[in-house]
A and B are shown apart, each in its own frame.
Chain A
Amino acid sequence: MANWCMVIDLEKCVACQGCSVACRMENNTPVVSPDEAKNGRAIRWNDVFPLPVHIAPEQGEYPNVKTHYATRPCMHCENAPCVKTCPVQATYIDEEGIVRQNYDRCIGCRFCTVACPYGVRYFNWYAPQWEGSLENHLNPDELSVNGSLEGPAVRPVGVVEKCTYCVHRLVKARERAAAEGREFRADEYVPACVQTCTGKARYFGDLDDPDSTVSQLSKSLRATHLLEDSGAHPKTLYLAEG
């Protein structure tokens, strides 16, 4: 079984937010009004923000300024606090190391959103809405597991959603390989953000395969995790700017 993992090279990231947009289109994440967004209700499964978070980015005086940015999908933690706290197992780690979300089971208690150290989980405060023609560009993919919605089809009000490493793409890639009567290869599956990344800063693959790019990169001296000390054993890797 594969152990899927993403590696993000912050040295190559140009903070263009292409990944955010690709994620939005791929996963049908609802848009909210600017007012709502200001009130902290924007849903960005993959967010791009300045680091450090709590110090105003304009620190320093021209020309001695430097701003760092981070792009942040879900960490798909190996000891995920969200999974540990969910009372109904609406979020769980599958056997390929992806932390998944069952939208039909979630009771909307928001325990996971409070427990996640990375602020990766988003709640549907209102029923999702799309403005104008956006509605016509929804991704038609739908992933159901045992009759429960898990894929990019639009989520109902009152449930929590988050980055799934585009797990529906994995299912689709496997199905295609099966239909063509051949073995599925790990490089047939990447999430939308990895596919689109302007700076080619994102890598994706099987961490347990010693020959894969991600496991090679994980040995780099620059390899690190976000909030290494959170106790959640985050899996998504970063290559530090250096």
Chain B
Amino acid sequence: MSGERPQSPTLYSAVGGVAGERGGAETPSVSAPARLRAALKRIDIGWSLITGYTVAVYLFMFIPVAIVMLLAFNASQFGAFPMEGLSFRWFVALWNNDAIVRAFRVSFLLGGLTALISTTLGVLAALAIVRYRFPGKNLISTALVAPILVPEVVLAVALLLFLRWLDIPRSFFLLLCGHVIFTLPFVLLVVQARLVTIRRDVEEAAMSLGAGPIATFFEVTLPLLMPAVFAGMLFAFTISFDDITGTLFWKPGGLETVPTQIFAMLRHSVSPEINALGTVMILLTVGLPLLGAGIARRMARTRGG
């Protein structure tokens, strides 16, 4: 097929040339559509190659995830195919595993607090950066976003060494601080982007009507900012919930989050319980942002954003 393809344009143009000598006007109508058809066919093949390749890449990425989720429902003792029937036994086992339930509790608490603190700080920082002028503003705004750019391991080791140097023992509080530091940039960027679209004169109108700066913030700025605040909060929660690198470095002994718990369990054996745990994690970290995005979009619509 492809061997004769390069020839076809020459063939067609040769025919066209003959036709041209014979009867001028109809020449283009004979050769042009034919040439076009040939070109389209070539493009078709190109496209199907690209499509096929893309599909292959995605399959490669998602098949393992799908397998994990599938095997979580496997009734067999061993996490392998063929599956021996559907069952929720591994989820039940999870529920009865104290270590895992404890890890979930820690992760939720940590994620929740991280989201709360990060969002509060992020909103305040965004307000300062967008609405006020102060010395060192550029430096501060860069420093706040820097944790995104620095590799997490480097950040984790640096903070750990710093704490060693200060002779502060690791604790839940410090773990929380670490999570806040590297979720803050995400919140800040999202909130900042929304804040610049909120017109200053809307706030000025509120103030002229008698609302002080604080009332103006809660009556006007915050409601208009809400979709971004909400999105930032979800970001912070999921990132914190997902995180393993920093957490491994910072967590005090005896405290496990879900990812570090999985990590610890993997050291012993690959039990089907882990498949079930993975499934729960996937549902949480994919489902929450999707849910959040939906809610944020609806909020943005009703708030005229």
A and B associate in one complex? no
